[in-house]
Copies of this chain bind each other. A is one copy, B any other.
Amino acid sequence: MDKTALSGALASLKEKRPLVHHITNYVTVNDCANITMFIGAAPVMAEAPEEVAEMVSMAGALVLNIGTLRKEQVDSMVLAGRRANELKIPIILDPVGAGATRYRTETAQELLRDLHVDIIKGNAGEIGTLAGVGGSVRGVDSNGMTGDPITASRSLARGTGAVVVMSGATDIVTDGQDTLLVDNGHELMGRISGTGCMASSLVAAFAAASEDRVLSSAAALAAFGIAGERAAVKTSSPCSFKIMMLDEVASLTPNDLIDGARVREP
């Protein structure tokens, strides 16, 4: 794995400082705004139907996160997403809780049908559900999937034309052909609320600045994981850990990816 390319993805992000339009949940939205700023991009949250098409047109990426979905919000996701598709602005879908309720599963499927989604980022239960292999989700937490995660991710990528990013102890990034695995991260990241949503914001910020979505997504997850690893050296208390992890995200340089990224092929 050529880490120079990962490093270049972060350098490109910091140079372009892309706007990342979020339509997201109200639980972790503040964390998403801050991490987007800390990595070097600019967040905007907007979901009124009157403005989403106009707002997304100035963005470098669009995050659709269904963590606290409502019908009106999903309608706005489609409006924003259609405009993003017209303008070739990458869409990142985080299907939070797909598999837990029928409404979440069906909404994620509808978004995938109505829009061209560039990147699907979920946990094993969510990806397993959307891949149709059987995923188990309780609330918004994964209880895993049936079968092999890499096979399921590739299958979902081929079926949708999206890059699939499956978070876990080892993250999987695949477009159905090329696959990268990311070993960075720390178990403390799973003990706080918002890690998954923040990862999606980072994946979007990186996608806004690079053409290669497999590479840029792997770079985003490696960057986040390195920040978590560094914060975990300083504390094992989860709330302090969150603050320190965000500080580490803000201090990441392209060089840190060369030194710290643990990205490999399967």
Residue numbers of A with Cβ under 8 A of B are 19, 21, 25-31, 33-34, 37-38, 42-48, 50-51, 54-55, 58-59, 67-72, 97, 100-104, 138-141, 191-194, 237-240, 243-244, 246-247, 250-251
Contacts and interface: CB of A to CB of B under 8 A. Distances in A.
Given A45-B68, A103-B50, A30 B138 contact: no
Contact of A139 (B59, B192, B240): B59
Contacts of A26: 26, 29, 45
A189 B192 CA distance: 21
A243 B246 contact: no
Contacts of A246: 238-239
A193 B239 contact: no
A43 to B, nearest CB: 7
A135 to B, nearest CB: 14
B42 A138 contact: yes
Given A29-B26, A250-B237, A138 B58 contact: yes
B37 A191 contact: yes
A110 B16 CA distance: 35
B100 A71 contact: no
Contacts of A238: 34, 37-38, 246-247, 250
Given A45-B68, A97-B46, A192-B34, A139 B58 contact: yes
Which of A44, A138, A238 is most buried by chain B, counting CB atoms within 10 A of its CB?
A: A44
B237 A100 contact: no
A48 B70 contact: yes
B193 A54 contact: no
Contact of A239 (B21, B27, B34): B34
Which of A67, A100, A244 is most buried by chain B, counting CB atoms within 10 A of its CB?
A: A100
B27 A27 contact: no
A217 B28 CA distance: 27
A102 B139 contact: no
A44 B247 contact: no
Contacts of A103: 48, 50-51, 54
A46 B68 contact: yes
28 contacts: A26-B26, A26-B29, A27-B30, A27-B33, A30-B31, A33-B194, A34-B238, A38-B239, A42-B139, A43-B139, A43-B193, A46-B97, A47-B70, A48-B70, A50-B71, A51-B103, A54-B102, A54-B103, A55-B139, A58-B138, A58-B139, A237-B247, A237-B250, A238-B247, A238-B250, A239-B247, A239-B250, A240-B247
